C-alpha cells in the first residue's frame, strides 16, 4: 500500500484521487499536484497513441513517460517541473494507468532523468517532447539497501555527494546522468555515516551489527510516507528499527514524525 493505494487495483479519479486529497488538484491534467499533500500523481493515458507516440517500458526496466503540453514544444514548468523536482521537493510520484474504466495504480516511481524527443503534438506537428525516465521506487530502495556502504570516505565528502544526489536530474541525452540507484545509495550512505551508530531519534545505540560490520540503522524519509530513493538528506533521518516502526505504525506516528522533523533542524540545518 502506498498512500492507501494498492498496486493493480483500479480507482475512480474523482472519489479516490481528488477526494482523498481534500478535493485538491486539477481535474483535467494528466499530471496532478496537490496544494497541501507531498504527492504528484501521473496518469499514463491512451491519448498519446492517437498522436503517434506513447509512454513505454524500456528493456532495462525504466518507464518512459511523456510530459504535459498539447501543442508546441513542451516546457519544464508546472506538472513537468513537479515530476523533475519530486525528489528534491520530498514528494511521492505515483503512477496510474488509464484503463478507460478507471485508473489502475502501478506504484511509486522515482524520476531518474529525462530527454527531449521530436514527437507530434495534438495538431500532428512535430515538436520537442519531454520524456521522463522513471523507475520503480521499490527496486531502487532494495538495491540501495543491498549495496555496501563506502568505507574510507570522509563525512564531508559523503555529505557533498548526498546533496548533489537530490539535484534535479539532468537531461540524459546531454550528459551521462548518475543513475537513480547511485543517487539513492549516496543519500543512504551519508545519513548512516552521520548517525554514526546511534539512532538520531531515541539516541540509543543501533540494536545490532550488520554482516558487513556496520551498525544497523535505517534511513527514514520524513516528508514522504514511503522510504527509499533519493531525497534531500536534510529531510532524511537515520533511526533504529523501533523508532522507524513507531513512525509508520504507531498510534502517535504522525506526532513522532513531526518531532523528528523538528529534531532534524539541529542535526542538519536547512539554511
Binding site for Zn ion (CB under 5 A): 199, 201-202, 239-240, 243
Q: Which is nearer to Zn ion, 202 or 209 (CB)?
A: 202
For the bound state, the minimum distance from the C-beta of residue 137 to Zn ion, rounded and expressed in Å, comes to: 24
For the bound state, the minimum distance from the C-beta of residue 90 to Zn ion, rounded and expressed in Å, comes to: 21
Q: Tell me which long-range contacts 20-23 makes (C-beta under 8 A, separation of at least 24).
A: none
For the bound state, the minimum distance from the C-beta of residue 202 to Zn ion, rounded and expressed in Å, comes to: 3
For the bound state, the minimum distance from the C-beta of residue 198 to Zn ion, rounded and expressed in Å, comes to: 9
Q: Please state whether 90 falls in left (phi above 0), alpha (psi between -120 and 50) or beta.
A: left
Q: Which is nearer to Zn ion, 148 or 205 (CB)?
A: 205
Q: Which is nearer to Zn ion, 49 or 202 (CB)?
A: 202
Query: CB count, 10 Å around CB of 242?
Result: 14
Q: Which is nearer to Zn ion, 165 or 195 (CB)?
A: 195
User: CA 259, 264, 270, 271: dihedral to nearest 10 degrees?
Assistant: 100
Angle between helices 137-146 and 180-195 (to 10 degrees): 50
Where do the DSSP E strands lie in 6-163?
A: 10-11, 31-33, 39-44, 56-57, 63-66, 92-98, 103-120, 126-136
Q: Which is nearer to Zn ion, 107 or 201 (CB)?
A: 201
Element (H, E) at 238: strand 236-239
For the bound state, the minimum distance from the C-beta of residue 241 to Zn ion, rounded and expressed in Å, comes to: 8
- Grid coordinates representing 55 are 509512454
For the bound state, the minimum distance from the C-beta of residue 213 to Zn ion, rounded and expressed in Å, comes to: 21
Contact 72, 21 (CB under 8 A): no
Q: Which is nearer to Zn ion, 62 or 243 (CB)?
A: 243
Amino acid at each position: 500500500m502506498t498512500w492507501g493505494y494498492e498496486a493493480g487495483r483500479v480507482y475512480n479519479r474523482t472519489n479516490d484521487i481528488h477526494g482523498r486529497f481534500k478535493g485538491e488538484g486539477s481535474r483535467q491534467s494528466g499530471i496532478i499536484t496537490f496544494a497541501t499533500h507531498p504527492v504528484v500523481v501521473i496518469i499514463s493515458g491512451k491519448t498519446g497513441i492517437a498522436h503517434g507516440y506513447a509512454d513505454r517500458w524500456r528493456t532495462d526496466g525504466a518507464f518512459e513517460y511523456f510530459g504535459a503540453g498539447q501543442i508546441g514544444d513542451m516546457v519544464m514548468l508546472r506538472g513537468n517541473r513537479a515530476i523533475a523536482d519530486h525528489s528534491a521537493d520530498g514528494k511521492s510520484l505515483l503512477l496510474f494507468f488509464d484503463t478507460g474504466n478507471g485508473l489502475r495504480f502501478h506504484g511509486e516511481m522515482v524520476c531518474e532523468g529525462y530527454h527531449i524527443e521530436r514527437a507530434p503534438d495534438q495538431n500532428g506537428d512535430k515538436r520537442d517532447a519531454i520524456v521522463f525516465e522513471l523507475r520503480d521506487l521499490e527496486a531502487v530502495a532494495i538495491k540501495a539497501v543491498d549495496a555496501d556502504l563506502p568505507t574510507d570516505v570522509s563525512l564531508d565528502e559523503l555529505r557533498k555527494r548526498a546533496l548533489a544526489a537530490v539535484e534535479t536530474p539532468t537531461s540524459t541525452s546531454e550528459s551521462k546522468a548518475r543513475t537513480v540507484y547511485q543517487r539513492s545509495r549516496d543519500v543512504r550512505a551519508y545519513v548512516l555515516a552521520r548517525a554514526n551508530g546511534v539512532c538520531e531519534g531515541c539516541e540509543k545505540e543501533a540494536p545490532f551489527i550488520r554482516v558487513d560490520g556496520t551498525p544497523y540503522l535505517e534511513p527514514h524519509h520524513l516528508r514522504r510516507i514511503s522510504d527509499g530513493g533519493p531525497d534531500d538528506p536534510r529531510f532524511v533521518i537515520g533511526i533504529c528499527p523501533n523508532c522507524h516502526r513507531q513512525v509508520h505504525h504507531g498510534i502517535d506516528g504522525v506526532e513522532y514524525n513531526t518531532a523528528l522533523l523538528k529534531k532534524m533542524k539541529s542535526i542538519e540545518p536547512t539554511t
